[in-house]
Amino acid sequence: MASVGDLSVRIFLDSQGFQEGISKLGTEMRKLQSEFKLASAQLGAHGSELDKLRLKSEYMTKETDLQRQRVQTLEEAHRRAVETKGADARVTQELEIRLNQARARLVTMEQSLTDVNNQLTLQSSSWGKLGSSLQAAGDKLQAVGKKMEQAGKELSTKVTAPLVGLGALAAKASIDLETAFTGVIKTVDATEQELQALKQGFETMAKLCRLPPPNSMALVRPPGSWVSKKKTSLVLQM
Measured at the CA of 61, the angle between CA 20 and CA 22, to 5 degrees, comes to 10
Residue 110 falls inside a structural domain: yes
H/E element holding 35?
A: helix 19-43
What does the alpha-carbon distance between residue 124 and residue 24 come to, in Å, rounded to a whole number?
A: 36
Residue 107 falls inside a structural domain: yes
| 132 and 197 housed in the same domain | no
| Those residues with Cβ within 8 angstroms of residue 52's Cβ, 6 or more apart along the chain or in another chain | 40, 43
Residue 164 falls inside a structural domain: no
What residues make up the domain containing 197? 188-238
Mean pLDDT of the chain: 74
| 197 and 85 housed in the same domain | no
Encode pLDDT of 49-98 as tens digits: 899 999 999 999 999 999 999 999 999 989 988 998 899 988 889 899 99
| 230 and 126 housed in the same domain | no
Secondary structure (DSSP) of 107-129: HHHHHHHHHHHHHHHHHHHHHHH
Residue 56 falls inside a structural domain: yes
Residue 166's pLDDT is 53
DSSP bridge pairs for 4: none
Residue 193's pLDDT is 76
- Give the residue from 136, 171, 203 where a domain finishes: 136
Encode pLDDT of 177-236 as tens digits: 566 667 666 666 667 777 677 767 767 766 666 555 555 455 444 444 444 444 444 443
| 109 and 20 housed in the same domain | yes
| 14 and 127 housed in the same domain | yes
141 or 34, which is more confident? 34
Provide the number of structural domains found in the chain.
2
| 127 and 193 housed in the same domain | no
Q: Where are the beta strands (DSSP E) in the chain?
A: none
Kindly indicate the confidence band of residue 144, based on its pLDDT and cuts at 50, 70 and 90. Answer: low
Residue 56's pLDDT is 94
Residue 66 falls inside a structural domain: yes
Residue 215 falls inside a structural domain: yes
| 132 and 195 housed in the same domain | no
Percent of the chain residues past pLDDT 90, beyond the cut:
29
Residue 59's pLDDT is 95
Highest mean pLDDT among 27-31, 169-173, 217-221: 27-31
Residue 220's pLDDT is 47
Q: What is the CATH number of the domain that holds 120?
A: 1.10.287
Residue 39 falls inside a structural domain: yes
